[in-house]
Structure 1
């Protein structure tokens, strides 16, 4: 199992639209491409950052390729960005679990 910590910096004034896209489309498409959402956060004291954690079943690279080619994602992204891109930057860190602490089995969305 591989985990992925992703940090999105939204363009000014676009965080709500970015979160709506996740809520309305992205999370469901993730699930169908072997990416399980474990949590979403906004850091205290910031106005434009969204951080989330995914659990990948299988190869993360293959999961992302399938996700990116999914017509539902392509349509949702295009519709949400009619007035410009929602993100200024995206950072990703792949993580492997350790035996230091048991990982809770979060419910599948």
Structure 2
């Protein structure tokens, strides 16, 4: 949970005026999803490349707000490293609809198949849903 706390603290540090916020996603009522991808052995670089070159654009295409992404440096407990990121949605129902559309997208399926031609990139995924507290600093979500 230490990394989850660090991610939340880093997220709370992103502060700018409310006028810069996306019109249809209120940071105070949004649902945030903290996702942790445990890279398969030797696959962290390929997983980062897939996010960088394809996944973020496809997330945005399907209404998921990319908030921030981190790499945890390899540790004894997680020698292959992890990608930790936060997405935001207007509601939990919107999250479910966005993920269904993303998973069903032929473009995503092609990207996943190409990137996993030599084996799976992800060994495990953890997901935590969060809502902002009333005392959190104002957050500007990336567009």
Aligned to 1:4: 33
1:39 is the counterpart of 2:68: yes
Aligned pair count? Answer: 108
Aligned to 2:130: 95
Q: Secondary structure at the match of 1:24?
A: helix
**TM-score normalised according to structure 2 size:** 0.71
Q: 2:73·2:82 contact (CA, 8 Å) conserved in 1?
A: no
Root mean square deviation, CA, Å: 1.3
Tell me by how many angstroms 1:44 deviates.
4.1
**TM-score normalised according to structure 1 size:** 0.92
Structure with higher strand content? 1
Tell me by how many angstroms 1:107 deviates.
2.5
Gaps of 5+ in 2: 1-29
Q: Kindly tell me: are residues 71 and 20 of structure 1, through their superposed partners in 2, closer, same or farther at Cα, counting changes over 3 Å?
A: same
Q: 1:35·1:57 contact (CA, 8 Å) conserved in 2?
A: no
Q: Kindly tell me: are residues 18 and 45 of structure 1, through their superposed partners in 2, closer, same or farther at Cα, counting changes over 3 Å?
A: closer
Equivalents in 2 of 1:103, 1:60: separation in Å? 22
